[in-house]
Structure 1
Amino acid sequence: MEQPGRTDLADRGSPAPAAPPKKKRDPFFDNAKYLAIVLVAMGHAWEPLRGDSRAASALYITVYTFHMPAFIIISGYMSRSFDMRPDKLRRLITGVAVPYVLFEVAYTLFKRTAGSDPDYPFSLLDPWYLTWFLIALFVWRLTTPIWKAVRWPVPLSLAIAMLAAISPDIGDDLDLQRVLQFLPFFVLGLKLKPEHFQLVRRREARVLAVPVMAGALLFAYWAAPRMNAAWFYHRDSAQELGSPGWTGIVMTLAMFGCSLVLVACFLAWVPRRHMWFTALGAGTLYGYLLHGFLAKGSRFWDWYEHDWVHTPAGEIALTVIAMTVITTLCTPPVQRLFRFAMEPEMTWAFRRDAEELARGRGK
């Protein structure tokens, strides 16, 4: 069972209810977050195999089309109640900003030592590897009141993403290309309502998802040797990928549409009832950030240099290992061990506002 106050990758920094009764968590979203984080780990395990295996490359492309968009849409959905109240800002700082700083330091030290790059610079403005999502979530959530106020939030955010895709001068500060190019998924999540998720939970949607996902895999198999997979990272402009600027607009629209279709297929297959892994959905941030050390360490320590890894049996074994590792890192014992870094209370750092003081006196 989930413990009170537990947060995860998708709703990290979202506000906690001021008083009981606490709303019961929907197992559908916890299941979706756990399954999506498993796909993230599998994608990282497949990445070094793409040069030798067209099948691994096709799976990699397909998964990268929807796994982060799914997370970001759910993050937006969980951010609908966010405003600038002090308690919500504190939770955003302790649940997103502080873990970002701590893991940016930890990843930098890891690269300097295990990565044999002792001169790698430390910079809070240049997120390394997985920490980009935390800084992006911080920025997106701070802008939530804006998206609630404007008349056409999703088209506006999509226009911003298209402009980013043709703006090579944005630079690497705060990984703004990713922040802006993934923005439409977050804004879409803000605008979704429970009934929208009910549409993909119908039996018809589950059946339709089978041929759609099969078609996506076939297309990815065809496109694997022909397409630059960097488009799926959303971290570069079209010009930086060696393409004319107009392709950035076309690819932004095309990939937004493709990602939404595959996200819908993925969500259609997510179980709606409590499963053995449902509780692990509350620990996705732990699995996400901690598995990065093994994902990068596998490259630093040349684990992929062994020939058996590049055989079909080796690829299957790596997939199972990735699933096992990420599942373990989402479990309650790991959460208890690393909660000081990912869910610090930090009551000493903040003043209590008048509303909180009044509640305390009432109790």
Structure 2
Amino acid sequence: MNIKGEKMKRNAYFDNAKFILIYLVVFGHMLQPFVQDSQSLNTLYTWIYTFHMPVFIFLAGFFAKGAGSLAYITKLAKKLLVPYIIFQVIYTGYYLAIGKQNWLADSIFYPHWSLWFLVSLFCWHILLIFYKKLPPSLSVVIAVQVGLIVGYFGQVGHTFSLSRTFVFFPFFLLGYWITVEQVKVLKHVRVKIASLVFMAIMAVGIYYAPTLTSGWLLASKSYGQLGLPEYGGIARFFVYVTSALMGMSILAWIPQRELIITSYGSRTLYVYLLHGFFIQFFRQYDLLSVDGIIDLLGIGLLSCLLVFLLASKPIRIVGSH
């Protein structure tokens, strides 16, 4: 296994992956209001959600240091928790300004929009301090078991982002343990062909038997809330396997060379924090619609432009100050 320092070097492949995944995050959020009225859009939306957050979290784990000093934890808090509090307040004011007054009822501990990721990312780094002391295989098995068990407790939900923290942690942990050489296995021709077949099967399966609802993929609800209070653990295990296979399938096709998107892929946190302002504005005033393939392509293009804008150097410079 490579030493952590070797894994931390910037790599065009991983930056390309981060750009593509953050694009799918934005695109998925653009599509969300329209999926109930179209089986095709619901299939595309659900297909994206089977892998985009698990792989995004996997990549976050890949670049995690796993240190446990007080200085490390303090630095993490400044990087993740302070922006969370700031943006939680800003989003509350923004929602009020555009007429979404119901958001005022939420507390500072109930993350707005996508801000749950900041809270969970901090917690994953803290959990990693303890899990990295275990053998890799055992640590992942334990993390998966915890992710399966928490779904039986209704109290573990969106507050503090607890449910998502435990359910998604196995992907973060896998990212920490994996090596560049192991990822490169996905680039073999046979793996790439198999990945295409699997992704196609998933798309067809979701379209004709849409039992894999987005509620299972968002990981914020208990099994009782999802309608399977007794057998939810089995369903979530199926989701784990599906997400892992879909994630590997997508990673198999990520370009390895330097592209226009590569440098933007290193600034995805800005996109993640800021795109909600645009999405909620579009939704509040019904500025978007999807009535055909042209509309869908237009939303895809708009999502791409938004990612480039929010990951641009001017945004980074403003954000750093």
**TM-score, reference length from structure 1:** 0.82
One-letter amino acid matched to 1:316: L
Corresponding position of 2:98: 114
Amino acid across the alignment from 2:234: V
Find the aligned partners of 1:106 and 1:255 in 2 and give their Cα distance: 34
Q: Which residue is 1:84 aligned to?
A: 68
Q: Structure 1 residue 73 and structure 2 residue 58: aligned?
A: yes
Work out the percentage of aligned pairs sharing the same amino acid: 28
Go from structure 1 to structure 2 and tell me whether the alpha carbon gap of 1:117 and 1:50 turns closer, same or farther (over 3 Å shift).
Answer: same
Counterpart residue number, 1:271: 255
Match of 2:303 in 1: 322
Aligned-partner SS, 1:243: coil
CA displacement at 1:135 relative to structure 2? 0.1
C-alpha contact (below 8 Å) 1:108/1:121 kept by paired residues: no
Shift of 1:303: 1.9
Query: Partner of 1:348 in structure 2?
Result: none
Does residue 190 (structure 1) correspond to residue 176 (structure 2)? The answer is yes
Q: Report what 2:236 is aligned to.
A: 252
Pair 231,198 (structure 1): closer, same or farther in 2 beyond 3 Å: same
Cα deviation for residue 118 of structure 1 reads: 6.7
Q: Which amino acid aligns with 1:129?
A: W
Answer whether contact 2:95 2:103 (CA < 8 A) is retained: no
Residues 116, 258 of structure 1: alpha-carbon distance in 2 compared, 3 angstrom cutoff: closer
Q: Which runs of 5+ in 1 are unaligned?
A: 1-14, 18-22, 341-363
Q: Which position in structure 1 is the counterpart of 2:48?
A: 63
Change (3 A) 1:172 1:67: closer
Deviation, 1:92, is 1.0
Q: Shift of the alpha carbon at 1:169?
A: 2.1
| TM-aligned CA distance change 1:28 to 1:167, over 3 Å | same
CA distance in 1, matches of 2:103, 2:29: 25
Instruction: Give 1:93's aligned residue.
Output: 77
CA distance in 2, matches of 1:128, 1:99: 13
Name the structure 2 match of 1:333.
Answer: 314
Task: Please list the CA deviations of residues 247-279 of structure 1 after superposition, one character each: whole Å capped at 9, or x if unmatched.
Answer: x20122101100011111111111111111100
Q: TM-score, normalised by structure 2?
A: 0.92
Deviations 1:26-61 (A, max 9, x none): 111111100100111111111112122211111100
Candidates 165, 171, 182, aligned match of 1:179: 165
How many positions carry a matched residue from both structures?
Answer: 316
1:361 aligned residue: none
One-letter code aligned to 2:125: R
Larger Rg: 1
Q: Is the 8 A contact 2:124 2:169 kept in 1?
A: yes
The residue aligned with 1:154 is 140
Native 8 Å contact 1:82 1:88 kept in 2 = no
Number of the residue aligned with 1:132? 116
Q: CA deviation at 1:171?
A: 4.2
Aligned to 2:216: 231
2:294 matches 1:313: yes
Q: Does structure 2 retain, via aligned residues, the 8 Å contact 1:126–1:175?
A: yes
List per-residue Cα deviations over 1:66-103 (Å, max 9, x = no partner): 00000111111111x32123442343122211211111
Structure 2 CA distance for partners of 1:265 and 1:171, relative to 1, 3 Å: closer
SS at match of 1:169: coil
Alpha-carbon separation, structure 1, partners of 2:157 and 2:242: 26
1:102-137 CA-partner distances (Å, limit 9, x unpaired): 111111111122133077146331111100000000
Give, in whole Å, the separation in 2 of the partners of 1:241 and 1:115. Answer: 30
- Give the unaligned 5+ runs of structure 2: none
Q: Output the CA distance in 1 between the equivalents of 2:50 and 2:157.
A: 23
> For 1:331 and 1:240, how far apart are their aligned partners in 2?
40
On the 8 A contact 1:115/1:297 being kept in 2, the answer is no
